[in-house]
Amino acid sequence: MDFFDNINFWGIINFLSDNLSIKGPWDLVKTIVDISIVSYAIYKIATLVRETRAWQLIKGILFILIASKLSDILGLRTIAFILRMIIQYLPIALVMLFQPELRRGLEQIGRSRFKNFFNFEDESYTIKVKSNIEEIINAIVEMSKTFTGALIVIERETRIGDIINSGIQIDSNVTSELLINIFTPNTPLHDGAVVIRGDKIKAAACFLPLTENPNLSKELGTRHRAALGISEVSDAIVVVASEESGKISVALNGGLTRNLTSDTLRKALSKNLLEKHVPNKKLGLWKVKTK
C-alpha cells in the first residue's frame, strides 16, 4: 500500500489534462477509447497487409519519405523536387497499387458479426454440421487414396453468390457419395469447385479466382492456387485433394496447410465451422505453409 500511497494520481491527471486537452474524467475516458480504436485499426491494417505485396510497397513508401526529408536537409534540390512530385501523387498511386488489399479489407469490414451475438444455434444445427464434416472427410480421404483431384469450398460469413452462379446449380444434401461422383474424372462436373452453403451443396463446376501471391511453391497446382485465391477474397474454408500426390490441404484466410490426415482435417473443419462466434480463426495447431 505504501507504493500506491506515494503515487500522485491527481498529478498524473493534471499532466494529461495539460497535454491532451482533458478537462475531466469523461474526457479522459473518451481519449483512452479514441487512442485504443486508432491503435487497433493500425494493428489490423498491419496484420492485413503483412503477408501481401502491400507490405513491400509500404516499406518502399517509407524509404521515399525518408529520402525526401534527407534531400531537403542536405540541400539536394533536384532529388528533393522529384521526390516531392512523387509524394504529391502518391495517394492516387496507393489506391491503384493497393486495390486488391483495399477490396479485401472492405470485405472484411462488411462481414456481419452482429448476428452472432443473437443467433444461438440449437443442438440440431450442431449435429447437422458435424454430419456434414464427416461426409466431407469421408469423401476427401477416399478421393486422396485414388488420387482423384477435388476442390470443396465451404462458405461462411462472406457470401460468394457470384462463385455459385458461375457453376452448375445442384442444391443437394451433403453426402460423400455425391461428392465422389462429382469429382470422378471425365464426368461433366469434375472440373472446377464444389460450393457448400449451410447444409447444402449449392453448385459444382464453379470457377474460382487464382491467388495473386507470387511467393508460392512451384509444386502447387491450379487447384491449390484457386483454393488460396478464394480464401484471399472471402472467409471461406477450402478443402483440396491433390490429383498428383493425393495429399489433403486446407486453405483459409490466404494461407495453406498441407499434408493433413483425417483427424487433423476434422479438427480444422470443426474449429472453423462449429465455433461460429469466431469466424476468422486460423486453423489452430498448424503453421501456415505456402512453400
Q: What residue spans define the domains of the chain?
A: 2-110, 123-273
What's the predicted TM-score (pTM) here?
A: 0.61
Number of Cβ within 10 Å of residue 220's Cβ equals 20
pLDDT of residue 259: 92
155 phi and psi, to 5 degrees?
-70, 145
**Does the structural domain 123-273 have CATH classification 3.40.50.970?**
no
pLDDT of residue 234: 85
Q: Which residue has the higher pLDDT, 97 or 187?
A: 187
Q: Which residue has the higher pLDDT, 15 or 63?
A: 63
Region 18-30 average pLDDT:
67
3-state secondary structure of 229: helix
Q: What's the rounded Cα separation, in Å, for the pair 81 and 165?
A: 51
